[in-house]
Structure 1
Amino acid sequence: MKKVLVGGLFLILLSSAGFAKDVLEKFSTNGKTYEIYVGYGHSVYVTYGGSSDTGYVKGSNSDCQWKRYGSCKSYSSMISDIKYKVANHKYK
């Protein structure tokens, strides 16, 4: 009984903390609506036939809030890049 209770509690905490998505932007292009969001592991995803990893990661300090392949990006640069790639069918 104790193991089930602890296991269930762990799953609730994991699902509420690790899998919650923080939507950054919603936008429409090509007649479809998309969401850009921060998901599991601080990775940035876009809804594109499911969830596609964009390669961006939310940084941990104010000097570098958004990273892609180790390079710091501004929020607007990241969003513009993702929207461009969605419009040009770069995600799978």
Structure 2
Amino acid sequence: MTDPYRIAPSPGDDTYASFHPPADGTGRPGDGAGGVTSTMLWILTAVFAGLNTALSVAGQEIVGSVFGGLAAACLVVLLVRYLRRRDR
């Protein structure tokens, strides 16, 4: 029985099929641009979520909820950025 997950050689070629990036220099959609922005959004999300937790525990629910809303907004922006890059 043949293995359906085995990487077989290409017809007429002695090497195994592999990924070759496009010649025009474009790689995967997530490469390069956006790395710093995404990193900053993740850091802000963690900071805002931490402030939300700390202020809520300290009894400042209203101020804490503002930071919770900001954390949720950062997550929405991250999701939108991911979905846009995935469709390219």
TM-score by length of 1: 0.25
Highest RCO, 1 vs 2 (Cα 8 Å, sep ≥ 6):
2
State the structure with more CA Rg: 2
